[in-house]
Amino acid sequence: APVVLWFRRDLRLGDHAALLEASEHSKHVLALYVLDDALLKPSGAPRVAFLHGCLKALDDQLGGRLMLVKGDPVNEVVKAAREIGASAVHVSADTGPYGRRRDVEVKKALAEHDIAWTETGSSYAITPGRITKPDGEPYRVFTPFHRAWARHGWPGPADTGESIVDWVEPPWSVKLPKSPSLKGMELPEPGEKAALERWHEFLDDGIETYDEDRDRPDRPGTTRLSPYLRWGCVHPRTLLADIAGNEGTGAKSLRGEFAWREFHADVLWHRPETARKNYDSRFDAMEYESDDEAFKRWCAGRTGFPIVDAGMRQLLAEGWMHNRVRMIVASFLVKDLHLPWWLGARHFMQHLVDGDLASNQLNWQWVAGSGTDAAPYFRIFNPTTQGEKFDPTGEYVRRYVPELRSVQGKAVHKPKDVKGYPAPMVDHAHERQVALERYGAIKGT
Ligand code: FAD
């Protein structure tokens, strides 16, 4: 009997463990994707547009045989599986809170029709939840998790591709909906082929200098793979296998970043409520401001702090922001404006093309101090010195803040009465004290 391969966050055909597993049960596989409003409605336009591009690319790889349906997966997956007389539905595990709840229901509905449910692999090198401390407790700190993760290891890439099975002609399919307007924002090329091209380009000329350049927003020093990893256009095991045995500083540092992605997913798996709530519940008592005007200025990149404004405008222009700058703008929102992290996290999720619940919410919490961070809470970024240090020639700021283009060199980080550019909206030294007092009050409890 044929089987269904239900694609979710694994929009590729190479290194696809669930496809390999499906092919061992049947040579006739129906490729299915469900457009689910529960996921699509809250997603920002860049993420939806990129997803549509990835679906189009996947459909092309499948010779037009991707079955696209719209609606509640509980009904749609069962309907499709029954229509072709499938014996099983194969998936890569989705370990996010919504995906887990949904899959319990879909699995139950399939069981009523004697259709098997098979989960193989996930979007991670090691499926979240698998690594625990020797006493069975989850890790709460990155470094020991990272060590255990590396020690645990993972199998090599699954040997799959488009011709491993015969793709079943879809019994019906809806048209890919029109993508939302991006107002001039340019997104990366979607799909598996583009992901691998970007990766190979990085292996050719980025990996050696990655460790030196990764903190420099003015340089194109990082992989820019985050949107592809988000939608599973490439699997991390492929990437890890390609740099296995490379003990250079670049490869080592990159493995560490991949491990951060896995750590946050692991934390969210063990504590799904941290998508919304503080990981460290002492922070529930934190005093925040509610200042719409200040929040709007932050969102628009009009704070008067050049590195913050450059980052926020990069986000609006590209749907992506450099990691160092994500940390700086997040710290500014929480520690200089005293606004709650979840407001910033929501804005990021609306605009990031790589918006990912685990990486976003838990990085925000990490910066806010309410997350898994082992770093002392009194470490508060000074946005001006951060700018001077990581954008030493001011090139990054000038690229995204046209009002400051006439200011040469690093002086751009301390603009003086530049026409059209706002004065700093707060006094950092003062706000730092306020933040310290508020943190002190809750940390002591
Ligand atoms: P590279 O430096 O090339 O890193 C390679 C890969 O490692 C990335 O693609 C990503 O998958 C992973 N990675 C790197 N740093 C981190 C990190 N700190 N946490 C988790 N994974 C990491 N990343 C997202 O993918 N989605 C998000 O929604 C997201 N929100 C963030 C919010 C804040 C406040 C902060 C501080 C960071 C956030 N990150 C998020 C992490 C990081 O900024 C991006 O993964 C990175 O900038 C993507 O660019 P890159 O692919 O060129 O990264």
361 lies in a domain?
Answer: yes
383 lies in a domain?
Answer: yes
Q: What is the mean pLDDT of residues 279-290?
A: 94
Q: What is the mean pLDDT of residues 3-9?
A: 98
Structure confidence at residue 445 as a pLDDT band (50, 70, 90): low
Query: What residue ranges line ligand 1, CB within 6 angstroms?
Result: 214, 222-226, 229-230, 257-258, 260-261, 264, 323, 326-327, 330, 348, 352, 354-356, 359-360, 363-364, 367
The answer to whether the complex's ipTM is over 0.95 is yes
Same domain, yes or no: 40 and 113: yes
Same domain, yes or no: 244 and 352: no
How many Å apart are CA 165 and CA 155, to the nearest integer? 22
Counting DSSP H helices and E strands in the chain, the numbers are 19, 6
How many Å apart are CA 31 and CA 27, to the nearest integer? 12
**pLDDT, tens digit, for every residue of 16-59?**
999 999 999 999 999 999 999 999 998 999 999 999 999 999 99
Q: What is the CATH number of the domain that holds 101?
A: 3.40.50.620
Same domain, yes or no: 256 and 402: no
Same domain, yes or no: 290 and 439: yes
166 lies in a domain?
Answer: no
Contact 139, 148 (CB under 8 A): yes
pLDDT at 443 over 80: no
**pLDDT, tens digit, for every residue of 73-96?**
999 999 999 999 999 999 999 999
Q: What global pTM score does this model have?
A: 0.97
Same domain, yes or no: 362 and 428: yes
Contact 272, 100 (CB under 8 A): yes
pLDDT at 283: 93
pLDDT at 374 over 70: no
Structure confidence at residue 377 as a pLDDT band (50, 70, 90): confident
Cα 236 to ligand 1 centre (Å): 13
pLDDT at 444: 66
Same domain, yes or no: 224 and 287: no
pLDDT at 154: 96
Q: What is the CATH number of the domain that holds 245?
A: 1.25.40.80
- Which of 76, 94, 122 terminates a domain? The answer is 122
- Which of 72, 101, 122 terminates a domain? The answer is 122
pLDDT at 329 over 90: yes
Same domain, yes or no: 35 and 130: no
Q: Whose CA is nearest to atom 13 of ligand 1?
A: 257
217 lies in a domain?
Answer: yes
Same domain, yes or no: 75 and 107: yes
- 225 labelled ligand-binding: yes
171 lies in a domain?
Answer: no
Same domain, yes or no: 311 and 231: no
pLDDT at 183: 85
Planar angle of CA 433, 437, 440, nearest 5 degrees? 135
Cα 91 to ligand 1 centre (Å): 25
- 210 labelled ligand-binding: yes
Question: Which segments of 112-159 does DSSP mark as H helices, in order?
Answer: 142-152
- Which of 238, 270, 302 terminates a domain? The answer is 270
180 lies in a domain?
Answer: no
Same domain, yes or no: 327 and 410: yes
Residue with the two structure tokens 């229509």: 83
323 lies in a domain?
Answer: yes
CA distances from 266 to 100, 137, 230, 300, 375 (A): 13, 12, 15, 33, 20
How many Å apart are CA 220 and CA 210, to the nearest integer? 10
Percent of the chain with pLDDT over 90: 96
Residue 333: which domain range?
281-443
Q: What is the CATH number of the domain that holds 294?
A: 1.10.579.10
How many Å apart are CA 253 and CA 163, to the nearest integer? 35
Ligand 1 atom at minimum distance from 322 CA: 47
Structure confidence at residue 378 as a pLDDT band (50, 70, 90): confident
Residue 140: strand, helix, or coil:
coil
Number of domains within the chain = 3
Same domain, yes or no: 344 and 401: yes
Same domain, yes or no: 101 and 134: no
pLDDT at 442: 87
Q: What is the mean pLDDT of residues 392-416?
A: 97
174 lies in a domain?
Answer: no
DSSP H or E stretch at residue 77: helix 73-83
**pLDDT, tens digit, for every residue of 119-168?**
999 999 999 999 999 999 999 999 999 999 999 999 999 999 999 999 99
Using a CB cutoff of 8 Å and minimum separation of 24, what contacts does 269-277 make?
269/95, 269/128, 269/129, 270/128, 270/129, 270/138, 271/138, 272/96, 272/97, 272/100, 274/361, 274/362, 274/365, 274/371, 275/97, 275/357, 275/361, 276/342, 276/361
Phi-psi domain of 404 (left: phi exceeds 0; alpha: psi -120 through 50; beta: other):
alpha
Helices 73-83 and 97-111: angle between axes, nearest 10 degrees: 40
